[in-house]
Amino acid sequence: MADEVSKVVDAKGLACPMPVLLARKGIDEIESGQVMLVESTDAGSKSDIPSWTRDMGHELMTSETEGPIFTYTIRKA
């Protein structure tokens, strides 16, 4: 069974740098080990979210594209 998502961040329709800013706000609201799901329509997020996740030491569990929507699940370090 997949990990339970503790927080959903909806950054759909927002351009750079909003997906990263909202991801930051979201991750601050969950505990270490919990999972956050980020949704974005910004193509720049395909590089921005994985970079930010890696640099922050969190774990990028999945990164998926479904039509115009990019979905990421991140486990907080």
Partner 1 sequence: MPKRKELRGINRKSLLHAHLRKYGDNDGACSGAHGQEARRMAQDKGPDKMTIIAFSGDLDKLWPTMILSSTGAAYGMDVTVFHTFWGLFPLVRDDVKITGDNAMTKMLSTMNPPGFERAKLSKLNMGGAGKWMMRQLAGQHNVMPPEELFDMCLQMGVKIWPCQMTMDLLGIRADQLRPGLGEPAGAATALSEMSRSEIQLFI
Instruction: Give the count of residues interacting with partner 1 (CB under 8 A).
Output: 14
Q: What does the CA dihedral 11, 72, 45, 50 come to, rounded to 10 degrees? A: 140
- What secondary structure does DSSP assign to 7-43, as a single string? EEEEETT--TTHHHHHHHHHHHTS-TT-EEEEEE--T
- Among the listed ranges 2-10, 18-26, 29-37, 58-66, the one in contact with partner 1 (CB under 8 A) is 18-26
Instruction: Identify whether 16 is a catalytic site residue.
Output: yes
Smallest distance, partner 1 to C-beta of residue 52, A = 7
Residues that bind partner 1 (CB under 8 A): 13-18, 20-21, 23-25, 52, 55-56
Question: What residues act catalytically?
Answer: 16
